[in-house]
Amino acid sequence: MIRFAPVLLLLLAACVAREVKPTEQEMDRVEAALEKLPCIGRIGDWERRYLYHPQYFGEEVAIAMKEGRDPRPSGYDRSKIEIHLHEANFEEFGEGRKSLSDYPSDLLATDDREYRIAYGSFDLTTGKLHMAACGANS
């Protein structure tokens, strides 16, 4: 049994789920499109967060709401990247870009302070950018 332990460990390591998050090349494509927007300006002026669009199957969202927890994605649409930008260096916001595997808890919080935000999505298949908001958050 002991001589099979390394093989067993390798098999278990192969079964560990990998985080599903946008690649550097995909984020480069998104940022090239974003830089063309007048409301964005210099991309370095933003804290940028990118994640694949999560998919929820069955009644997961309703069950999660009843249980008082965040829904667990059943999968991800890897052809669409969600974009969440905040004005860089405004209070708790940093700078640079982050590739995320899931929504951070602060992403969907409401906030009545005045700073610049932008959010939307980028379709990797068509190369189209769709912005839902770009400008002051108030």
Nearest to 17 by CA among 62, 67, 59, 73: 73
Residue ranges of domains in the chain: 19-136
Q: What is the pTM of this model?
A: 0.74
What confidence score (pLDDT) does residue 67 get? 92
CA angle 28, 105, 16 (to 5 degrees): 70
Q: What would the pLDDT profile of 85-110 be if each residue is shown by its tens digit?
A: 988 766 666 678 999 888 776 655 56
In this predicted structure, what is the pLDDT of residue 101?
A: 86
Tokens standing for 59?
Answer: 């009644």
Token output for 3: 């001589």
Give the span between the Cα atoms of 46 and 31, in whole angstroms. Answer: 11
pLDDT confidence bin for 82, thresholds 50/70/90: very high
Comparison of pLDDT for 61 and 34, the residue scoring more: 34
| 104-to-34, 39, 44, 59 alpha-carbon distances in Å | 22, 24, 21, 22
Say how far apart CA 48 and CA 34 lie, in whole Å: 11
Cβ 51 vs Cβ 77: under 8 Å: no
CA angle 124-130-131, nearest 5°?
A: 135
- Average pLDDT on 120-124 reads 96
Query: At residue 14, does pLDDT exceed 50?
Result: no
